[in-house]
Every structure is written in C-alpha cells, then in structure tokens.
Amino acid sequence: MDFISGEIIGIDKPLGWTSFDAVKRVRGAIQRRLHLKKFKVGHAGTLDPLATGVLIVCTGRATRKIDELQSGAKEYVATIRLGATTPSFDLETAVDKEYPWQHITKERVEEVLPRFTGSIMQVPPVFSAVKVDGKRAYNLARKGKEVNLKPKALEISEMELLDFSLPEITLRIVCSKGTYIRAIARDIGEALESGAHLTALRRTRVGSIRVEDCLGVAEAVEKIANTDITYPEDYRLPEEN
C-alpha cells in the first residue's frame, strides 16, 4: 500500500467512538508502519459517537479528496422511537416529553414519509456543530442558552420504511451532505402528531463505499501492520525519526 501517495480506507466505526478516535488509531498504525512521528490522515464526513458505519479515512495526498468524497450521497438505516422526545433528538440526552403514539398506523407512516423526500428545508438540531455567532450550537445548548438556527436546503433522494414495530420504526434514508437524521426523526414525529427521537443510526454507504466493504478498526490496524509498503518516486525517506 502507498499511504503517502494516498489510500482511501473504509472503516466501520464502532458505537461509542468519535470519528477522531477511529482516525487516531489508523494514523498511529501507519506511523508505526512507516516509522514516522507525524503523518497526515483525515476523514470524510463525521459520524456521531452514537452512530456506527461507514467512515472514509484518507491518508497522505488522498486527503486532498476529502471534500469530494464527503459530498457524495449517504445512506443510513435509522431506528426512531415514537411517542417521546429528547433535547438532542437522540439518546445523548434523556427523554423530556412523552406523547401518545397508539394512533399511529403503518399506513399513516407510509403516507407521511413522502413529505420528507426530494428538496426539503431542515432546521438543524441545537445539539449540533453548526456555528452561531462563532460558537458551536451544542456548546450553547449544553449551557441552557436559547439557540435559533436557520433552515437549510437538503436533498433526500430515498426514504423507505424497513420495519414497523411500534413504538419504533426503522427507515432507510439516502440523503445529501449535511443532513441531520436526528432532525428527520423530530420532524416525522411532529408530522405523526406525536414526538420522536433517534435510538440507533448506521451509515451504510458514502458514495460508492458500502459498509460491507469496510474494515473494523482492529482489522484495519492489523492490515496496516502486515501490508507491503510502497513509496512514490519523489518521496525521500527521513534519515532519522
């Protein structure tokens, strides 16, 4: 593998890990394999710690492709709990309100979903990295401050009901960069005259990279440790590290 010219590695990010945690492990393995103290590694598209699935890791000169890679369509499988809301729209925060959900039918869910496909406007969650006056919205929200975020345009190309097991539903969603699946959960709950929050999220595809083709973090580290290394012709090995 030529990590310096650039490799694109699909990682299946584990639950509870930040995207930085996964990148740090991959970077450390490459540094040890190349006998370097520093090496450039980045990722295309952040995943929350409570989400799992495809995280694209780029090495060396391939980090120049990050913007291009993270602009690709993304596919998710999302489990949504109806009848309850949380301030973060997921399990990061505790349930703050409960609502009736017994009136919701499978037919009603299938009737509502098309409202959230195509070109839509979405208000991001206040517990997000969106900046407000130079500060991250989640920092303001965690301090109990009021946060007003403006809606932004998104493209949801596909939304499919995979499972209907009240009070939970599971959806497959294909969307553009910048989509907050947590906000989709919020909006679907409101459309169903109830409340909702996200209880599980798995990113199954980014562009052409699918989760079944990705490596676990431990697999990636092992593969890096045992792979044959090649170097670009214009690269000069450091004399001492």
> Please, are residues 76 and 147 in contact by the beta-carbon 8 Å criterion?
no
CA distances from 31 to 19, 66, 88, 241 (A): 18, 20, 37, 10
Question: Which residues carry out catalysis?
Answer: 48
Structure tokens at 47: 């995943």
Residue 144 gets the label, from left (phi > 0), alpha (psi -120 to 50) or beta, of left
Query: CA 51, CA 233: separation in Å to the nearest integer?
Result: 40
Question: For 75, phi and psi rounded to 5 degrees?
Answer: -115, 135
How far apart, in whole angstroms, are the C-alpha atoms of residue 83 and residue 100? 6
What 3-state DSSP class applies to 224?
A: helix
Distance, first Cα to last Cα, the chain: 21
**CA distances in angstroms from 197 to 51, 63, 73, 177, listed in the order given:** 14, 34, 23, 21
